[in-house]
Every structure is written in structure tokens, then in C-alpha cells.
């Protein structure tokens, strides 16, 4: 019975998934889907000037490199030199430190010098998923990358209820207590949505800009109520929610290879990606985090938040046109595709032939759009100090 339910879930998510928690593409893990109407790109006028450091990073990428109160423990050097544009997992993991947030340990990394950029991963991923980007970005910026609570090497507390709002609060507190400067948030999938919520909730000038890579519409599919495919399959979604709350069934359905297939848009998944996804997924608390994410409340919609966010901060949207999880022809994709015509502070680039994780699929395309956009941002003053408790 569990196998039959898993097969039904696979069919549902492959047809209609608009959430990065769509963990069921494993039936056809290498099948690619192209939308015939997506052979175009959107772009706001780009700055004609690219700083020398950004130009060097782009040349290196083109040459083949992929490129409450808290406390911090571990040895981290913000100015650590980057020997190459692409970093090995072992090197990244050695560089990580721990920040204590509300009594829970949060894993993070910091590297480079310059204006700060914070990288926020998607469902089931971690700091290592940015291995192709950290080296390139750290040549011009201070790059922070964080493992959201419940993922990677961060704590996975028993019985914890994961929500989009909790992750957004974690991001804002990290900016306030660790980074301590106005920061550009860069997120993928649910990480993008967490960044949108954080930017909307920031009452102090902590967010300098926002970069969204295939932004999720919610923590799970229950957020997308105006898609006929979701409406058709709502009874199945409710059944899956019920079954996942039965631990023995959830354990049977929680296939690490299925999680891996969410992030693999290649004919052969490299060994590093296997390590990034499978390792933490085998750890204590990973199953609970998976179930809580898939069955919990979807959280605020980016559609409701983006107008206010874009009025306060510039936004760059990068979208892979072969994404089966947040397809450009779905409600969220269509909304973001129309944004540049409605909000002048938003720049959108469609990335042809790219999947749900552009920074890992085609880091060269992402860097070619991201670095000039970052370089063109106006400088920001440090935020005022937090009011005394």
C-alpha cells in the first residue's frame, strides 16, 4: 500500500508541483521538460560598467570554474582567501562555524571581503549546495551561507514545527547578530520565499537587495490554490498529509534518492551533490523535518508580499525554464514573469535549459547576471544599533 501511495504521490507532484518539497520525481529522474513558449528572456537594462573584481570572477567562471540573543562558536576568518572559484565540500565544511539561535545550533559559513551577501538554500539542501558559487562571489563580497534549522548541519529538534515564518525570523536575527550590515539575500526555492518574508518583516534596514532563484509559492503545495491541477488533486494531498503523520508510513516514503532527484537536472548526478543531499537526510531528526515541511502550513504567499518588498529593495529574479517544481507556466511563475512590467525595481532573467536550482545547474549563467546586478547596487550605510533591551 505504501508503494502504491508513493507512486500516486509521484504522479501528483510531477504534474502539479509548485513546491520545492516535491520529493517524488524519482520515477523519471532524468526526464527534462521544456515549455515550448519559453525561448525568450526578460532583462532590465544592465549597467555597462562591471567592477574589475567582478569581471575577473566572470572570466574565471567562463573558464570552467563553477564556481533571540545568539552566540558564535568555531574558527571563521571572514577575509579567508579563495584559491579557486569553485570550492570543495571538505573545504567548505571545515570553514563552517556555529551560531546559537534560541538555544539551537545553526551552521553557517563566511568567506571573502566586501559588501555582505547571504545565501539561503532550498528544501533538503545545505551550505554545500552553493559550492559552485561561494568562490566566485567571495572575490568581491563577504559571502555568508547558512543551513536553515532542520537541514544540513543545523539542529533538527525533536517535535519542532517548521514554518516559513520561523526561517524568516532566523534569517533576520542572523543579519542582526552575526552580519551586522545591510545585506543582499540570495535564496533558492523555499530559501527564496524565506528571504522574501524576511525582507517584508524587516523593520530595520537589514536587507539591501533580494535575489530569487526559482522562488517557491509556499512551504508546500497547499499554497497554490488557484492552479486547476492542485484543485483536482487536493483530496490526494490531504491523504498524503494524513499518511505522512503516521511515522512508519512516513519513514517508508522518505526516500533519500527521491530527495536527491529534486536537485539533479543532469543525466549524471555528481558525487558531491549525492553527499550534500543524502548525508544530512540520514541524520537524526531529518525525517521529522521532512514531514513537518510537507504537512505544515504553507506560509505567506510571495504574490502578496512582493509589491511591498520591491518598493523597499531592488530585486533580481532568475528563473530556470525547465523547472518542474515551480514551472514558469504555473501561477507563481506567471506572476514573477509579469513583475518587471509592474514593478520597476524588479529585474527578471529567464535561464534557458535550466532546472529548479540554477546556481547548481548552470552557475556560469547565474554569475553572468548576478555579478553585474550586485555591482550596480547603491552602497548602503550600516543600520542603526538595536535598541537596548
| Domain annotation covers residue 93 | yes
pLDDT computed for residue 9 by the predictor = 36
pLDDT computed for residue 352 by the predictor = 95
What confidence category does residue 123 fall into, taking pLDDT thresholds of 50, 70 and 90? confident
pLDDT computed for residue 324 by the predictor = 84
Q: H-helix or E-strand containing 311?
A: helix 302-312
For CA atoms 51, 54, 60, 62, the dihedral sign is negative
What confidence category does residue 228 fall into, taking pLDDT thresholds of 50, 70 and 90? low
| Domain annotation covers residue 123 | yes
- Return d(Cα 2, Cα 252) in angstroms, integer: 7
pLDDT at 330 over 70: yes
What confidence category does residue 381 fall into, taking pLDDT thresholds of 50, 70 and 90? low
| Domain annotation covers residue 369 | yes
What confidence category does residue 58 fall into, taking pLDDT thresholds of 50, 70 and 90? low
| Domain annotation covers residue 189 | yes
Domain that holds residue 117: 87-376
pLDDT computed for residue 275 by the predictor = 66
- Return d(Cα 167, Cα 152) in angstroms, integer: 14
pLDDT tens for each residue of 231-264: 565 556 555 655 555 556 555 555 544 554 555 5
Q: Which residues of 284-322 are buried (b: 16+ CB within 10 A; e: fewer)?
A: ebbbbbbbbbbbbebbbbbbebbeebbeebbbbbbbbbb
Contact predicate 173/101, CB 8 Å: yes
Give the pTM: 0.74
Q: Give me the number of domains the chain comprises.
A: 1
| Domain annotation covers residue 50 | no
pLDDT at 389 over 50: no
Structure-block grid coordinates of residue 128:
554545500
Q: What is the mean pLDDT of residues 61-82?
A: 49
pLDDT computed for residue 127 by the predictor = 95
3-state SS class at 227? coil
pLDDT at 102 over 90: yes
pLDDT tens for each residue of 163-212: 999 999 999 999 999 999 999 999 999 999 999 999 999 877 899 999 99
What confidence category does residue 56 fall into, taking pLDDT thresholds of 50, 70 and 90? low
| Domain annotation covers residue 8 | no
Q: What is the mean pLDDT of residues 129-140?
A: 96
pLDDT computed for residue 243 by the predictor = 55
| Domain annotation covers residue 71 | no
pLDDT at 227 over 70: no
What percentage of the chain exceeds 70 in pLDDT?
58
Among 25-39, 122-136, 156-170, 216-230, the range scoring the smallest mean pLDDT is 25-39
Burial of 90 (0-12, 13-18, 19+ CB in 10 A): exposed
Q: Which residues of 113-132 are buried (b: 16+ CB within 10 A; e: fewer)?
A: bbbbbbbbbbbbbbbbbbbb
What confidence category does residue 43 fall into, taking pLDDT thresholds of 50, 70 and 90? very low
| Domain annotation covers residue 242 | yes
What is the domain-level CATH number for residue 128?
3.40.50.1820
Amino acid at each position: 500500500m505504501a508503494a502504491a501511495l508513493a507512486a500516486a504521490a509521484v504522479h501528483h507532484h510531477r504534474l502539479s508541483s509548485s513546491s520545492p518539497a516535491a520529493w517524488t520525481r524519482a520515477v523519471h529522474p532524468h526526464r527534462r521538460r521544456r515549455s515550448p513558449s519559453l525561448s525568450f528572456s526578460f532583462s532590465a537594462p544592465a549597467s555597462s560598467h562591471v567592477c574589475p573584481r567582478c569581471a575577473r570572477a566572470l572570466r574565471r567562471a567562463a573558464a570552467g570554474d563553477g564556481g533571540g540573543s545568539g552566540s558564535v562558536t568555531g574558527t571563521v576568518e571572514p577575509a579567508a582567501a579563495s584559491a579557486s572559484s569553485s570550492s570543495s565540500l571538505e573545504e567548505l565544511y571545515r570553514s563552517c562555524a556555529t551560531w546559537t539561535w534560541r538555544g539551537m545550533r545553526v551552521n553557517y559559513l563566511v568567506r571573502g571581503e566586501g559588501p555582505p551577501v547571504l545565501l539561503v538554500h532550498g528544501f533538503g539542501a545545505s551550505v554545500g549546495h552553493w559550492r559552485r558559487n561561494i568562490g566566485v562571489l567571495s572575490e568581491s563580497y563577504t559571502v555568508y551561507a547558512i543551513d536553515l534549522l532542520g537541514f544540513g548541519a543545523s539542529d533538527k529538534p525533536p517535535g519542532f514545527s517548521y514554518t516559513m515564518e520561523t526561517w524568516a525570523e532566523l534569517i533576520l536575527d542572523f543579519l542582526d547578530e552575526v552580519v551586522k550590515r545591510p545585506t543582499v539575500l540570495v535564496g533558492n526555492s523555499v530559501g527564496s520565499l524565506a528571504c522574501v518574508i524576511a525582507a517584508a518583516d524587516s523593520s530595520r534596514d537589514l536587507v539591501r537587495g533580494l535575489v530569487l532563484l526559482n522562488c517557491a509559492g509556499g512551504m508546500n503545495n497547499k499554497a497554490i490554490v488557484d492552479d486547476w491541477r492542485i484543485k483536482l488533486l487536493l483530496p490526494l494531498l490531504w491523504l498524503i498529509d494524513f499518511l505522512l503523520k503516521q511515522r512508519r508510513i512516513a519513514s517508508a516514503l522518505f526516500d533519500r534518492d527521491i530527495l536527491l532527484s529534486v536537485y539533479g537536472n543532469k543525466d549524471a548526478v555528481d558525487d558531491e551533490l549525492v553527499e550534500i543531499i543524502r548525508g544530512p537526510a540520514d541524520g537524526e531528526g531529518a525525517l521529522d523535518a521532512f514531514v513537518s515541511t510537507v504537512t505544515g502550513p504553507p506560509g505567506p504567499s510571495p504574490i502578496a508580499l512582493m509589491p511591498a518588498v520591491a518598493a523597499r529593495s531592488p530585486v533580481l529574479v532568475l528563473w530556470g525554464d525547465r523547472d518542474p517544481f515551480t514551472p514558469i507556466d504555473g501561477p507563481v511563475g506567471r506572476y514573477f514573469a509579469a513583475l518587471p512590467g509592474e514593478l520597476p525595481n524588479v529585474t527578471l532573467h529567464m535561464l534557458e535549459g535550466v532546472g529548479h536550482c540554477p546556481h547548481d545547474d548552470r552557475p556560469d549563467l547565474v554569475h553572468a547576471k548576478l555579478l553585474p546586478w550586485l555591482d550596480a547596487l547603491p552602497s548602503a550605510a550600516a543600520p542603526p544599533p538595536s535598541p537596548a533591551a
